Chain A
Amino acid sequence: MKKFFIFLHSYYDKAQTKEFIGGMLLILGAAFFNLVFGYFSAIFAVYLSFMKWDYIGPMEFVGFKNYEIVLRDLYRGIIGAPYLLTPFFTGFKNIIIYTLMVVPAQTFLALILAALANQRIRGAQFYKLAYFLPGTTCPVIISLIFIWLFMKKGFINYMIQFFAPGFAPDWLNDRNYLLPAIAIVAIWGTSGHFTVSFLAALQAIPRDLYEAAMLDGAGPIRRFIFITIPLLRPMIVYVVVMGVIGALQMFDLAWVMAGSSGGPGGSGYTIALDIYNEAFTRLRPGVAAAKSLFLFTIIFITTYLFQKRYGKVIR
């Protein structure tokens, strides 16, 4: 008992008291809600991944069997089995390709557009509004509109004729073009959101830094590379991390554009789709939980590594 008090006392002293209490108070609300609604689910998922269940009857403990199923699927996929028999591997492969397409593109685009729009040029308001607009529409509607635009004789192919005549793939039915099509919709829909983030962060950069650089004779591009980007680093980290997290979990776009089975050749099949199918079509929530944990680990590792490398906070 006494030891306990001594421990508390030293802990209390170690923490700079005011800062500690203040800190805890400030995060209290946020942490509480997230822990209740998030952590309970997470623990439940881990528990579930070792069970066999059908929602209605009792849960049955099956040890690592679910994980075995996942690994076997991956193995089969690596040695080249047809996609119809290796859904998880297909989903995994596709979502990685998709993320590599989407995240760099949307980060880069948002950065450039924010920087350009931040200048004191006429019509800056208009541009900001234009980029922001896609984010205001309901995602389901967006998918529906783009399905219509991506049709073989649709608007997008029509426009492409001006730049590359003859190139008019059947985006939604061609296994090589479905994933890029979905990626394009994603970039269209989310880069505006990140442009707003960058714009906000740009406001925090003191103007005199630029003025000093200009006096030194640095042109706009050099100012951008050597001042703006480093100062925007925390925000860039945010955009990339959020982008990766969002891209790896993409579900609704694929659901509408590729259907629940992933479209031609399964090229539109994502991990999130597979987890959903596993849970509700094949009725194996245990396996779905195992797959979810697998996805979670991947997301966690990638973002952790990225944060470590680029995300230092207090200087």
Chain B
Amino acid sequence: MPKKLLVLTFMLLSTLILSISPYVSAQRIFIRFAGWSAGPTEVKNYKIMIEKFMEKNPDIAVKYEVITQMFHENILASFGAGVAPDVFYVDSSWAPIFIEKGALYPVSEIASSEFIEQFYEFLLEPFKGKDGKLYGLPKDWSMLALFWNKNLFARAGLSRPPDTWEELEEFAKQITEKTGKPGLAIYLGGFNRYMPVALSNGAPKPWFEKPEDGVWFDNPKVRETLEWYINLYLKGKVKREEEGLKPYVVSPADVGAGWLGDAFGKQEVAMVISGNWMIPFLADQFPDFKFGKDWDIAPVPRGDVSRATIAYTVILGINSRTEHPEAAWKFIEYLLGKEGQEFLVVKLGHTLPSIKGFEKHPDLWPQHAKTLSFKYDQMIVFLWGPKSGELESRFSDTMAAAMRGEISIDEALETMKLIVAEVYGE
């Protein structure tokens, strides 16, 4: 018996040792590229592009790594261990952190200005450092829009989507009265979804960097609009249910849905304000719910002053400590250029291309094209400051507490100011 064990253990150990295969490094420059993924199709497409790139550049080898969850945390840990990839995704909310800490290589030093000019300017704003250098280029983007259910609208006697925020609430009430289904679904919290309301009614663009910056919440326009937004849920659901009436505003969980897209696709609600990511989801999960016939897209409602929307984007960043910045740049240039974006973004149909010029492209999905056609006075990127991620999540929690009626709106505003002071206080 013991002998058998010994033999087995020996075999195990030897397989172990043999499998630790050394990296085959030839004369090629070796770069590592890490991203998360929107599924096996996207990964496959990236692999195809990488193959093509390696054909054109035989002296560069690219290793593609996929980190499915907790991406930025993983990248941070890899920096900590000194083994961060050469090229990696960075979400806009994390970008200031990486830029400020000097983790990213200034792309503007290595890219030609013609190349940079291809991109939408407002998308580049958040990725400029204090020194004015550009630290990354967006690989794609999405924006908010109003999705509305034509069938429910028709049943309520409405023929067009709401144009202003007041109409949004009015229409929601009417739809509930006429059809019994809530007119609007919003997230409990969701500071970034509230932002267009503030901006379009004249509130200044928020930027939180110092503890004093919490005074943004003192602005009367902010107080007014935040109160209105929180009341959407407070009055639209909490108070209505207390009176025994059907709610005209709900959160996805209230109708048994996981998120806004789920609620909309199941036709539990008539309107949601969500982004381009809804489009592939609806096409894939609810194929019978047809764009144009059953539902349509409208611009985000207008406020008293302007029409605004939020843009969400991800950049490809170069590790500032990389040994091969030129190779890394060549790779990014290839992925983000016309050919790359055409294949990776336009054809895939999950997001919008970050380069101008695709608006009339035949492969661009009509739903996406429609969102591109809207005219907005203000388009800002989802970013509130260097610690944007933390701010967004804490602001949203506070708003959620107010929406549920746990704290008063004044208390919520005070808390949000305190949060800014605390986050930037050390």
- A264/B76 contact (C-beta < 8 A), A57-B101, A283-B97 known: no
- A280/B394 contact (C-beta < 8 A), A57-B102, A173-B404, A264-B406 known: no
A55-99 interface (Cβ within 8 A of B): 55-57, 82, 84-85
How far does the alpha carbon of A264 sit from the alpha carbon of B253 in the complex, in Å?
14
B168 at the interface (CB under 8 A from A): no
Contact with A along B405-426 (1 / 0, CB 8 A): 0100000000100110011000
B204 at the interface (CB under 8 A from A): no
B273-313 interface (Cβ within 8 A of A): none
How far does the alpha carbon of A82 sit from the alpha carbon of B390 in the complex, in Å?
18
How far does the alpha carbon of A151 sit from the alpha carbon of B251 in the complex, in Å?
13
How far does the alpha carbon of A82 sit from the alpha carbon of B397 in the complex, in Å?
13
Q: Which residues in A have their C-beta under 8 angstroms from that of B406?
A: 264-265
Taking the closest CB of chain B, its distance from the CB of A284, in whole angstroms, is 9
A17 at the interface (CB under 8 A from B): no
A282 at the interface (CB under 8 A from B): yes
B418 pairs with A261, CB closer than 8 A: no
Q: Which residue of B lies closest to A283 (CB)?
A: B97
B80 pairs with A55, CB closer than 8 A: yes
A260 at the interface (CB under 8 A from B): yes
Contact with A along B70-107 (1 / 0, CB 8 A): 10110011011000000000000000011001110000
B401 at the interface (CB under 8 A from A): yes
B220 at the interface (CB under 8 A from A): no
How far does the alpha carbon of A153 sit from the alpha carbon of B418 in the complex, in Å?
36
How far does the alpha carbon of A261 sit from the alpha carbon of B80 in the complex, in Å?
25
- A84/B101 contact (C-beta < 8 A), A55-B77, A173-B404, A280-B72 known: no
Q: Which residues in B have their C-beta under 8 angstroms from that of A54?
A: 97, 101
B79 pairs with A260, CB closer than 8 A: no
- A281/B390 contact (C-beta < 8 A), A55-B79, A265-B406 known: yes
Q: Which residues in B have their C-beta under 8 angstroms from that of A53?
A: 80
Q: Which residue of A lies closest to B256 (CB)?
A: A151
B337 at the interface (CB under 8 A from A): no
Interface residues on A, range: 20 to 34
Contact with A along B47-79 (1 / 0, CB 8 A): 000000000000000000000001011001101
B101 pairs with A261, CB closer than 8 A: no
Q: Which residues in B have their C-beta under 8 angstroms from that of A151?
A: 253, 256
How far does the alpha carbon of A6 sit from the alpha carbon of B129 in the complex, in Å?
67
B393 pairs with A261, CB closer than 8 A: yes
Taking the closest CB of chain A, its distance from the CB of B361, in whole angstroms, is 38
Q: Which residues in A have their C-beta under 8 angstroms from that of B415?
A: 82, 84
Residue of B76, B397, B400 near A55 (CB, 8 A) is: B76
A255-285 interface (Cβ within 8 A of B): 260-261, 264-265, 279-283, 285
B256 pairs with A84, CB closer than 8 A: no
Q: Which residues in B have their C-beta under 8 angstroms from that of A172?
A: 253
B389 at the interface (CB under 8 A from A): yes
Taking the closest CB of chain A, its distance from the CB of B191, in whole angstroms, is 13
How far does the alpha carbon of A7 sit from the alpha carbon of B131 in the complex, in Å?
65
B252-285 interface (Cβ within 8 A of A): 253, 256
B398 pairs with A84, CB closer than 8 A: yes
How far does the alpha carbon of A57 sit from the alpha carbon of B101 in the complex, in Å?
7
Q: Which residue of B lies closest to A285 (CB)?
A: B80
Taking the closest CB of chain A, its distance from the CB of B214, in whole angstroms, is 14
Q: Which residues in A have their C-beta under 8 angstroms from that of B397?
A: 84, 261
Q: Which residues in A have their C-beta under 8 angstroms from that of B103?
A: 56
Q: Which residues in B have their C-beta under 8 angstroms from that of A56?
A: 76, 79-80, 98, 101-103
Q: Which residues in B have their C-beta under 8 angstroms from that of A261?
A: 393-394, 397
Q: Which residues in A have their C-beta under 8 angstroms from that of B387?
A: 282-283
How far does the alpha carbon of A280 sit from the alpha carbon of B418 in the complex, in Å?
21
- A84/B404 contact (C-beta < 8 A), A55-B79, A56-B103, A57-B102 known: no
How far does the alpha carbon of A282 sit from the alpha carbon of B73 in the complex, in Å?
11
Q: Which residues in A have their C-beta under 8 angstroms from that of B419?
A: 84
Q: Which residue of A lies closest to B390 (CB)?
A: A281
A280 pairs with B76, CB closer than 8 A: yes
Q: Which residues in A have their C-beta under 8 angstroms from that of B80?
A: 53, 55-56, 285
Q: Which residues in B have their C-beta under 8 angstroms from that of A282?
A: 387, 390, 423
How far does the alpha carbon of A48 sit from the alpha carbon of B61 in the complex, in Å?
36
Q: Which residues in A have their C-beta under 8 angstroms from that of B97?
A: 54, 283
Taking the closest CB of chain B, its distance from the CB of A311, in whole angstroms, is 30
How far does the alpha carbon of A82 sit from the alpha carbon of B412 in the complex, in Å?
12
Q: Which residues in B have their C-beta under 8 angstroms from that of A260?
A: 393
How far does the alpha carbon of A282 sit from the alpha carbon of B401 in the complex, in Å?
21
B394 pairs with A85, CB closer than 8 A: no
Q: Which residues in A have their C-beta under 8 angstroms from that of B401?
A: 264-265
Q: Which residues in A have their C-beta under 8 angstroms from that of B423?
A: 282
How far does the alpha carbon of A206 sit from the alpha carbon of B119 in the complex, in Å?
78
- A85/B422 contact (C-beta < 8 A), A261-B397, A280-B72 known: yes
Q: Which residue of A lies closest to B188 (CB)?
A: A173
How far does the alpha carbon of A172 sit from the alpha carbon of B256 in the complex, in Å?
13
B79 pairs with A84, CB closer than 8 A: no
B376-401 interface (Cβ within 8 A of A): 387, 389-390, 393-394, 397-398, 400-401
How far does the alpha carbon of A176 sit from the alpha carbon of B419 in the complex, in Å?
25
Taking the closest CB of chain B, its distance from the CB of A44, in whole angstroms, is 10
A90-138 interface (Cβ within 8 A of B): none
How far does the alpha carbon of A151 sit from the alpha carbon of B397 in the complex, in Å?
20
How far does the alpha carbon of A55 sit from the alpha carbon of B422 in the complex, in Å?
22
For the complex of A and B, 4 pairs with smallest distance between CB atoms: A55-B80, A56-B101, A280-B73, A55-B76
A to B CB contacts below 8 Å, 13 in the list: A53-B80, A54-B97, A55-B80, A56-B76, A56-B79, A56-B101, A56-B102, A57-B101, A173-B253, A173-B404, A261-B397, A264-B404, A283-B76
